[in-house]
Structure 1
Amino acid sequence: MMGTGVRALVCAAGLAYWGRNLRGRMTAFAKLPDRKTQTGYAMALLLGIIGGALADWLNAPLPWFVGPMVVNTFAALMGAPVIGPNFLRPIALPALGVVLGAAFLPEIFANLRQWALPLGLIPVFILISTFVNYVFFRRIAREDAITAYLSSVPGGLTDMILLGEAYGGNTRQIALAHSMRVMVSVLAIAFVVVWHSGSVGQGAPRPVTHLGDVGLRDGAVLLACAVLGPWVAKALRIPAGLMLGALLLSAVAHLTGVTRAPVPTVVSLGAQLVLGTSVGARFAGVTFGSAARSMGFGLASSLVSLVVSAAMALVPVWLVGLDYFEALLGYAPGGMMEMSLLALAINQSVAYVTVAHIIRYVLVMLTAIGAFHVIRRWA
């Protein structure tokens, strides 16, 4: 009976979410994508399901994100007409935000003193990582100063591409450098976790939460976080508000004890499928032949960034005893979404990793643009 109530609530919230602007939705539905676009969506999602199932069968960490990402990346580079299901992101991102926010339980307050040092070192990491990659792109890849800098900043993909377009940078190199950094970070760290899991106990699966396991009241709270989060973020002008707004409300709800309920596993896996598919499909229109040079330098830059992250992660391990994988995920050059999901998959502190990446994003946005204009004038 309770499961039926939760499902009914899910349906009602979904209808409310999509119906909040009926006129706009009707206009959108009146302009359905053409057959070619629909086929691209369907192909990408089908490949994502196949990739997720295969990765799950192989017992890979984060299978329903990594599998769809890898399979769609390969398909896109081979010329398959895959199209990322971005129309599902307004559902997947808030859902993921609630999933990550559910990790912010009151117990994390006991760890704040241990977190202070590694979080305080984030500006140092940004400086070192950007400098090392800038030198790589200038001296090895022979890119201009604008392209080299915008390809080197650890974060802010969309902002860096827009700056590159505005000031004559090589936007393909910038986009591929950031996209490759995300993909390589996820795959490399997942591989290391699998290789090392026998001795550190990582990768143990989290308990599965079924829809029926979440009470009616808790379900209503979680759904409210997902539905209202994007509105709150928009009102507060929070960037990446679809996910961060829901994450903020979910974190507040869990920290204050309004709920301690985790999000049903099927919701988390569905969001991962959509987002992993979208990440892989970014490479649509790019072929091995046409972008081999840019991809090669993007791969090399990603490995350079990972080496910097791996070395930097040793500092809080030695000084305050932070778990190495936790420290690594906090400094890793992948995006907040991807690294937080990896933390979730390998039972590390999602709260720490999420906070670390939020701080890094804010610092990048506050400093990178100003530094860019200095470099542009100097160049």
Structure 2
Amino acid sequence: MHWALRTGLTLIIAAIGSFAISTLGIPGGMLMGGALTVSVAALSGFPATMPNGLRNVLFVCVGLSMGANVAPDTLQLIGQWPITLGALALELVVIVLVCGIVLRRLFKFDTGTAYLSSFPGHLSFIMALASTGVGNPRQIVIIQVQRVMFLTLFAPIGALFLPVGHYSGASTELIDMTTLAMVAAGCAFVGWVFTRLKMPAGYVLGSMACATAMKLTGFFDGALPPILVDLTFVGMGALIGSRFAGMTRAEFMQAAFGGTVSTAITVAITTAFALGVSFFVSMPIGQIWLGLSPGGLESMGALGIALGYDTAFIAAHHVARLLMLTIAIPLVVVLVKGREASALRP
């Protein structure tokens, strides 16, 4: 099947799921529905795909949407961020230690697989290290993708029990098309520059930085067209679900149980930290949870838009998480290799 046809069918499947789930009134249902239907189709054998070019366009749209939804009082609340960033650092340590021990002792994963599967994020970096002989790459990718999928599916359901966000920076008046085109072009360029500089999630962060700067300096103040936001959610759902393509059901089931348990543990730890932090900062607990969540920047940023939370806060904490993991992951890999070498010595 030609890649263009596969891409078109992937998007159609995502659109059907997105609009079906959105009729249930679940916050973020557009993103959730697309991810669910495409993942089911991929695990059933459909060759779901999202070309890199289209993926980058989606990332620019996510960053643009996040920048357009930056809260007006973000700068006033930055003083509270050290508290949440400190909680994030401690949370990451607890997640990796607890999940690594559970996967190693309860599910009998080897040490490398257990700990690389436990890191909440930075999948490309983790897979690069796994390809050097640390852990089982197939099991690691299944658990990591499963974590993002579960968070995308269940975070909107959890949001039904939380207060509605009140930090949305979007105006009720729509941005005019000329201004939108200029902002989008600027976002695409800055995203390209960030990517060339090897920054994590370059297109998302670059486009968000550009849109945020343009908004805070008064270049634009209108809301994005709802159709653009909806199409972005459909595309992101398709992208998340397509990551299951090529995995057999047998491979998936082999790692799925351990992945489900570790994801549940991760969510419980994140929720406990979010609840604790909420006593010290004046922010909606849902926003704190999305900032501390172990999901991908693109997915959690899209959910932040859908739920009306401050996207600058969410993005800043996910960037901090990626930077922390960039330092922590190689250290753990060195420790794992050292332990394996010691076990082989007579």
Same fold at TM > 0.5: yes
Asked if structure 1 preserves the Cα contact closer than 8 Å seen for 2:119 and 2:325, the reply is yes
**In the aligned structure 2, how far is the partner of 1:327 from the partner of 1:370?**
28
2:193 is matched with: 232
Aligned counterpart, 2:4: 38
1:173, distance to aligned residue in structure 2 (A)? 1.2
Matched, 1:277 2:238: yes
Q: Write the distance in 2 (CA, Å) between the matches of 1:107 and 1:339.
A: 21
Q: CA deviation at 1:160?
A: 0.6
2:255 corresponds to which residue? 294
Query: Sequence identity, in percent?
Result: 25
Aligned with 1:357 (options 308, 318, 323)? 318
Q: Superposition pairs for residues 117-156 of structure 1, below 5 Å?
A: 117-156=83-122
Residue of structure 1 in register with 2:344 after alignment: none
SS at match of 2:73: helix
Task: Give 1:274 deviation, angstroms.
Answer: 1.5
**Residue 82 of structure 2 is aligned with which of 116, 132, 135?**
116
| Cα contact 2:170–2:221 (8 A) shared by 1 | no
Q: Does the C-alpha gap of structure 1 residues 269 and 216 become closer, same or farther in structure 2, counting only changes over 3 Å?
A: closer
> Which residue matches 2:343?
none
Gap runs ≥5 in structure 1: 1-34
Once the two structures are TM-superposed, the CA of residue 370 in structure 1 deviates from its matched residue by: 2.5
Are residues 84 and 236 of structure 1, via their aligned partners in 2, closer, same or farther at CA, if it must alter by over 3 Å?
Answer: closer
**Corresponding residue for residue 71 of structure 1:** 37
User: Which structure has the greater CA radius of gyration?
Assistant: 1
Secondary structure of 2:61's match? helix
Is 1:344 equivalent to 2:310 in the alignment? no
Partner of 1:331: 292
Native 8 Å contact 2:171 2:221 kept in 1: no
Alignment CA distance shift 1:166-1:52 (3 Å): same
In the TM superposition, residue 168 of structure 1 has moved relative to its aligned partner by 4.1
- With over 3 angstroms needed to count, the CA separation of the structure-2 counterparts of 1:62 and 1:203, relative to structure 1, is farther
Q: What one-letter code is carried by the residue in structure 1 that aligns with 2:235?
A: V
SS of alignment partner, residue 90 of structure 2: helix
SS in 1 for 2:199: coil
- Deviation sequence 1:135-178 (CA, Å, 0-9, x none): 11111121111111110111101111111111242111110111
Once residues 217 and 359 of structure 1 are traced to their aligned partners in structure 2, the CA distance between those partners, rounded to angstroms, is: 34
Contact 1:186 1:338 in 2 (8 A): yes
Change (3 A) 1:369 1:201: same
Which one has a larger percent helix, Structure 1 or Structure 2?
Answer: 1
Aligned mates of 1:120, 1:204 — CA distance in 2: 22
Distance 1:251 1:185 in 2: 26
Q: Alpha-carbon deviations, 1:273-309, whole Å to 9, x = none? A: 1121011011122233342120111111111100010
**Alignment match, 1:103:** 69
- Report the aligned-residue RMSD: 2.4
Higher mean displacement: 338-347 or 287-296: 287-296
Label 1:272 to 1:85 Cα distance change in 2 as closer, same or farther (>3 A).
farther
Task: Give CA-to-partner distance per residue, 1:229-250, whole Å, 9 cap, x none.
Answer: 2232145432321222111111
Of residues 280, 292, 296 in structure 2, which corresponds to 1:319?
Answer: 280
Partner in structure 1 of residue 14 of structure 2: 48
Provide the residue aligned with 1:25 in structure 2: none
Query: 1:263 Cα shift?
Result: 2.6
- Alpha carbons of structure 1 residues 249 and 203: separation in structure 2 relative to 1, 3 Å: closer
Moved over 6 A (4+): 203-210
Q: Report if aligned partners of 1:123, 1:363 keep a CA contact under 8 Å in 2.
A: yes
1:261, 1:255 → 2: CA distance?
Answer: 12
In the alignment, the residues of structure 2 paired with residue 338 and residue 216 of structure 1 have an alpha-carbon distance, to the nearest angstrom, of 26
Contact 1:101 1:251 in 2 (8 A): yes
1:251 aligns with 2:212: yes
| Aligned counterparts of 1:43 and 1:233: Cα–Cα separation in 2 | 31
Aligned partner of 2:158 among 167, 192, 215: 192
Q: CA deviation at 1:322?
A: 3.1
Paired residue total: 340
CA contact (8 A) 1:316 1:322 kept: no
How far did 1:71 drift?
0.3
Relative to 1, partners in 2 of residues 1:270 and 1:203: Cα closer, same or farther, differing over 3 Å? farther
Deviations 1:176-206 (A, max 9, x none): 1111111111222211112x15xx3469999
Structure-2 residue corresponding to 1:268: 229
Q: Give 1:180's aligned residue.
A: 146
- Does the C-alpha gap of structure 1 residues 127 and 173 become closer, same or farther in structure 2, counting only changes over 3 Å? same
Q: Which residue of 2 aligns with 1:5?
A: none
CA contact (8 A) 2:166 2:309 kept: no
- Whether contact under 8 Å (1:129, 1:308) holds in the other structure is yes
